[in-house]
Structure 1
Amino acid sequence: MNKQVIRHYLRAKTLMDAHSEQLIDECIQEVKQIAQFKVVYQLYCLSHQPLMLEEVKLLLDSKDLAFYLQECKQCMIIACTLGVLIDRQMKYYEHLDMSKAVVFDAVSNAYLEECCDAYQKTLGFESYTFRLAPGYGDIPLELNKSFASLLEMNKKLGVSFNDAGLLIPMKSMIGIVGIGQKVKKTCLSCLRKESCELRRGGQRCYVKD
């Protein structure tokens, strides 16, 4: 696993103290051992102005999506999870050792992203955008439930929503990926580069490859 990504989740720019680095190593081994990665995806054709999934006439009311998918005729809706065992272990550490719980959470987030990235690379698409999740920028969070329904997440992955609208298991993710245009996550490719508070402070919301 990329420890730089994990440190990014922990808001650390460089190597951490010896104890924290040891916790990262321990959590990497544990997460890899108990995670049950599952994934499902579906391809859809895109129509523009307004932007929507053609087959199901689902409107994608988002300037960010319109910007990043403007050259794409097709997209992939993808969802994945690390399973319930990660959640159980997370709750265990929250009662036993909050320091380790924080690191375990960061490692789990990084591992979920890494597994999904690796899976996408096996699908054989020559060019595609980075994964855009509901809640990112102006992408409506309500699209999570629409995408989950299209993918039958509950049936295929065992992922549902709690009363607050959060995914259960917690280490689960839904995203949309444009097919046919290569767009990597960089500050220059971001629609909000001129108003980004992180960028002004010399930080990024992502980790360079």
Structure 2
Amino acid sequence: MNKKIIRHYLNAQTIMDEQTEKLIDVCIEEVKQYAQFKAVYQQFHLSHQPLMIKEIHFPLESQDLEFYFKDCQECIVIACTLGLSIDRQMKYYEHMDMAKAVVFDAVSNAYLEECCDQYEQSFHLPHHTFRFAPGYGDIPLDWNQIFASILQINKRLGVSLNPSGLLIPMKSMIGLIGIGKDVQKTCLSCIRKDDCELRKGGQRCYVKD
């Protein structure tokens, strides 16, 4: 597992103290033990002006997606989860060892991202954007409800939504990928590059290997 991503979730830019690094190693092994990664996806066609998923006549009202999906004619919607056991272990550590709970949470986030990356690579897409999840940028969180229903994630993955639109188990994700245009996570390719507070401070919102 990429420790740079874990440190990123812990808001650490460099190697941490020895005790924390050992705790990260322990949590990596535990997360791999408890996680039960599952994923589903569905591919759709896009129309433009306005940007819309054709098959379900759903308008993608997002300036971010208008920008990144400009040259894409199709998209994939992915849903994935690490399962309930991760949530149960997280709640246990929140009561017994808060420091470990924080690290366990970061490792779980990184592992979900890594598993979803591997799942995405299995599609062998020639040209595609990176994933965009509801709740990030200007993409509404309530899109989770739409795509959860379409992908039947309750039945197929055992994933539900709370009244706020957050996925349960917590370590679950829905993401959209545009097909037809290569877009990597870089500051120069970002729609917010001119007014990004992180970039002004010499930081990034993503990990670069």
The TM-score with structure 1 as length reference comes to: 0.99
> Which residue identity does 1:178 align to in structure 2?
G
Residue deviations 1:77-114 (CA, integer Å, cap 9, x gap): 00100000000000000000000000000000000000
Q: Per the alignment, in what secondary structure is the counterpart of residue 139 of structure 1?
A: coil
In structure 2, distance between residues paired with 1:24 and 1:16: 10
Q: Per the alignment, in what secondary structure is the counterpart of residue 184 of structure 1?
A: coil
Q: Which residue of 2 aligns with 1:187?
A: 187
Q: How many residues align?
A: 209
Structure 1 residues not aligned, in runs of 5+: none
Q: Which residue of 2 aligns with 1:82?
A: 82
Q: Which residue of 1 aligns with 2:204?
A: 204
How far residue 6 of structure 1 moved from its aligned partner, in angstroms, is: 0.1
Residue deviations 1:98-149 (CA, integer Å, cap 9, x gap): 0000000000000000000011101111111000011111111111111111
Q: Per the alignment, in what secondary structure is the counterpart of residue 199 of structure 2?
A: helix
Matched, 1:64 2:64: yes
In structure 1, distance between residues paired with 2:96 and 2:142: 35
In structure 2, distance between residues paired with 1:112 and 1:126: 23
Q: Identity, % of aligned pairs?
A: 68
> Which residue identity does 1:175 align to in structure 2?
G
Where has structure 1 moved over 6 Å in runs of 4 or more?
none
> Which residue identity does 1:92 align to in structure 2?
Y
Q: Which residue of 2 aligns with 1:107?
A: 107
In structure 1, distance between residues paired with 2:71 and 2:165: 31
How far residue 163 of structure 1 moved from its aligned partner, in angstroms, is: 2.5
In structure 1, distance between residues paired with 2:135 and 2:192: 15
In structure 1, distance between residues paired with 2:109 and 2:15: 19
Q: Map 1:133-144; keep pairs closer than 5 Å.
A: 133-144=133-144
Q: Per the alignment, in what secondary structure is the counterpart of residue 43 of structure 1?
A: strand
Kept after mapping to 1: 8 A contact 2:77/2:175: yes
> Which residue identity does 2:101 align to in structure 1?
A
RMSD: 0.7
Q: Map 1:89-128; keep pairs closer than 5 Å.
A: 89-128=89-128
Q: Which residue of 2 aligns with 1:36?
A: 36
In structure 2, distance between residues paired with 1:166 and 1:124: 29
Residue deviations 1:26-79 (CA, integer Å, cap 9, x gap): 000000011000000000000000101001101100010010000000000001
Q: Which residue of 2 aligns with 1:154?
A: 154
Q: Which residue of 2 aligns with 1:46?
A: 46
In structure 1, distance between residues paired with 2:161 and 2:153: 10
Kept after mapping to 1: 8 A contact 2:141/2:165: no
Structure 2 residues not aligned, in runs of 5+: none
Q: Map 1:15-34; keep pairs closer than 5 Å.
A: 15-34=15-34
Q: Map 1:161-180; keep pairs closer than 5 Å.
A: 161-180=161-180
